[in-house]
Amino acid sequence: MIAVTLQRQKCIGCNYCVELCPELFRMSKKDGKTVLLKSVDKKGFFTVRVNDVLIDSSNAAASACPVKIIQVRES
C-alpha cells in the first residue's frame, strides 16, 4: 500500500494532479481546489491509503504539482 497526502488549502487549482492521476484527484467546482478522493482530513492534511498500482501516477502528480503539496510514501 501507499499513502498519499494532500495539503489542500495551498492548492492553486492547476489541474495537473487530476490529469496525471484521475483515480485519486478530482477538481472541486465549489472552490477550485483539488479533492483527494476518499481521504481523511487531519488538520488540513488529507490522506488516503491506496494500492501500489497507483504509485507511478501518484508520484507523477506529486512531481508535477507546482506548489509541492502532494506527498507519496510507502505505508
Q: Considering only residues 2, 3, 14, 60, which one is a binding residue for ligand SF4 as defined by CB under 6 A? A: 14
Cell 488516503 -> residue? 48
Rounded CA separation 69/51 (Å): 20
| Nearer to ligand SF4 (CB atom), residue 63 or residue 75 | 63
Give the Cβ contact number of residue 68 at 10 Å. 11
When asked if residue 69 is in the footprint of ligand SF4 (CB under 6 A), the reply is: yes
Q: Considering only residues 11, 24, 50, 72, which one is a binding residue for ligand SF4 as defined by CB under 6 A? A: 11
Q: Which of residues 20-59 bind ligand SF4 (CB under 6 A)?
A: 34
Q: Considering only residues 21, 35, 70, 72, which one is a binding residue for ligand SF4 as defined by CB under 6 A? A: 70
Report which residue type is found at 54: L
Segments of the chain assigned E as strands: 2-7, 25-27, 34-36, 40-42, 45-50, 70-74
Which residues contact ligand SF4 (rule: CB under 6 A)? 11-17, 34, 64-67, 69-70
